[in-house]
Structure 1
Amino acid sequence: MIFKRKREASGFAATVSKLEEAVAARDGDRTGQAFTAVMDAVQSASDAERILAGPRLAALLPAFPPTGPRPTLAMAAGFCVERGADPMACAEPILGGVRRDLLDALEFARRWTTTGGGEDELPEPDEKIIDDALPARLGGDVYEATRLALAWCSVEGWQPPALAVLCRSAEVRRRYASAILPSCR
């Protein structure tokens, strides 16, 4: 063949590329659209596509704001790990996100109980707790209070992707368990 045709990326790979490009451009609207497209496509992608996409999706986690849909993105990366993506390549961003949100959830619980969250018990992890009174209940500004409350609400959402990388690799467990276990306790 005289001319080499550039192979087009598969549908899912192209969708992940659009998300990567939108995140790199720091374009909120494009990121939102591309994120939705990735979430819609991950279930129907082939295992071969998921194997390649898992580390790419996990690598995007640190670029997502703490008040964004990081646990949902981690779920997609974890699903890819369950379908064959390299758990070691996905572990650091996923487990780093777990650790950050666990620490923020612990801080939420500490503040809720010490600053008079209005109840004897901690609230259910439901985003309904995020209201205009939240900064006064937790102290700090609106962003910080929202970040802590969202971490409180998302702890269970981090469990599947964390288990995906931890259960599929002894090396991941060996390398990351000591950092994450104290936060879990």
Structure 2
Amino acid sequence: MNISHSIRKKITQYILLCLSLLIIFNITYWSYNQYSSINNLLTRNRTVTENNVATIISKHTNLLTAISNDDIVKNPSLLLSQRIEFVRSYQEAFNIEILGISDINGNAATTYRDSMENINYRSYFKQAIQQNKLIISNLIYSPISNSYIYIICIPFSSSSNDGVIFASVSYAEIKKSTGLPRKYEY
């Protein structure tokens, strides 16, 4: 009895050890597959999100580039308040909250206000003038729509001495394209 009992005990131990190793291997394999699937999903989601945001930005950039090539809008002999009237039709056609133009000194006219304002202190204006390229601002609160926006600012195409043209991009539009949940709102 002792020998048979000892043999059964050893067999049981080896069977339990093999089952334990098999279970651990299966759990490890399953976890690795889950990790790989999640990683692939996140990579695809990031790519889709980047493409959506790039589409939104390029839509606004293309509009600003088209406006900046308009000879009437970049005509320095006209006052900014006169030139902004030609921009107003673009704003209405593309349903953009704010479109604006500025001279090299930072004096700006927007489709929102009839009065002139100075944007020389704003970093996106300074960067666009200094670097002569497209600049996107940090997230800004807009009292116009009572929401958050980004400002896309590009210099006029002929030279940086003519000033800049800028437009707002709704954070809600960006958020919608990225699929961010509400808890990440500012």
TM-score by length of 1: 0.24
Tell me which structure has the larger Cα radius of gyration. 2
Question: When you count helix as a share of all residues, which structure comes out higher?
Answer: 1
TM-score by length of 2: 0.24
- Which structure exhibits the higher relative contact order, with contacts defined as CA atoms closer than 8 Å and separated by 6 or more residues? 1
